[in-house]
Amino acid sequence: MVASITLGQRIEKSAEHPYGWKEVNAIAPDEVCVLYLGGDGAQEDRIANGYAKTVEDEIADALPEKVNYYSVKYDFAGHSKEIARKLNFLKHRATAVASKSTKYFIEVQASEYTLNPQYIDTLYRATLAPRISASDGTQKISAEEAARNIRKMTIVAHCHGGYVAHMLEKKMRAHMQELGYSPQDSKLICSQMLVVAHAPSCPLGMQKSSFYSFRSAYDAEGETGWNLLPHYIRKRKKEERFRFNGEETHNAEKIAQNRWFDLPASYLEKKRLFLIKQKHPWPNDEGPFMVNPKEHGDIRCGSKGQTQDGSMLLLFSRNVVLSGVINSLQQKEKFTPLPPINELILENGYGEESAERKVFNGKISAKFKQLTENGRNLIKEIIADYRQSGRSYRD
């Protein structure tokens, strides 16, 4: 048995398609669309359709014209997806603090099948390859046409979908080299691949695409890759649990020795990562011992019960998707490059910009500047904390 992937389009429900999701062989190379790469739980039509519905509900009413929404369904057939993701972290030095025995245990389980799962190639040939090549993938096209085609697709990912997006980019970069694109043209084309990733299970910062990630520290599922970040988060969460217990039991020693995990909302520029402490408050004041599944599963802008930071995080991710799709619709006679992140996060939409929207976007811009400064300070804190343990660090 070989792992496989099924590509599908969100459509109207019918007797033939009760979930409103229809299998398709490929996406047209010049079609403006959204492709949702869901988590590894997307193993049936209903769940695959649910991912596509989430993003359609968020952006469709704000678009000047209709676009199509696609998503994927996995059949892992015994494929060790967890090992594949861990190997990806190791390869890119995103688990620098893992022990040698842990690394060895992961590596000895590797196989070529694990390192290069066939379903990635299948999905690549159905989605990205026709956008940068002609003659069944054997001939390059003009760099401007390829960049415009890539820009017409906006990718949204969740958890394992981040790994899939990362692997698709690697496939595309290797394919461009085979086709004979110049390094400058390859860089241009790759930069137009927009990925909006919720809690992606992949290393961050080495992508050449416009790969933006959104995550909360109290998301207990997987790890987001900058080698020291998960290590720091685990340590600070443990410390916060001791502090909470100290407050509850009035233990002065524990209170003195342990800090609250006061993590300000941050944007880590080099990793293109938006990071907050938590999307949802702890239920019934149960404190940091509670692992809330909503931290991982809530990917909807405007869901009930979100913290202020959670609402901001998911608003920003929604705005990036919407701005990306609006930019995709501008790819008519000439190529219009993807805007930078400080513009993508702004409130965008159909119709003329109102005075209210200008004021709101001014607030978003000011908030983004603060998040960027917070991110710089957070990196300094993480590195200083690591060095305090007696270890040296070089980024």
- Which residue numbers in the chain have pLDDT < 70? 1, 78-116, 222-226, 350-352, 390-395
Exposure string over 329-367, b if 16+ CB within 10 A, otherwise e:
eebeeebbebbebeebbbbbbeeeeeeeeeeebeebeee
> Can you tell me the distance from the alpha carbon of 337 to that of 328, in angstroms, rounded to the nearest whole number?
9
Looking at residue 230, its pLDDT comes to 86
| Long-range contacts, 13-20 (Cβ 8 Å, 24+) | 19/45, 19/46, 19/49, 20/49, 20/53
Looking at residue 388, its pLDDT comes to 84
- Based on C-alpha coordinates, what's the Rg of the chain? 22
Query: CA angle, 181 as apex, 332 and 138 as ends, to 5°?
Result: 85
Looking at residue 96, its pLDDT comes to 45
**Domain spans of the chain, in order of start:** 4-242+252-388
Looking at residue 150, its pLDDT comes to 98
> Can you tell me the distance from the alpha carbon of 157 to that of 119, in angstroms, rounded to the nearest whole number?
16
44 contact partners, CB below 8 Å, separation of at least 6: 73
Please check whether residue 338 is in contact with residue 312, taking contact to mean a CB–CB distance below 8 angstroms.
no
Residue 183 CB-density burial (10 A; 0-12 exposed, 13-18 middle, 19+ buried) = exposed
Exposure string over 75-101, b if 16+ CB within 10 A, otherwise e:
ebeebbbebbbbbbbbebebbeebeee
Of 268, 225, 270, give the one whose Cα is nearest residue 373: 268
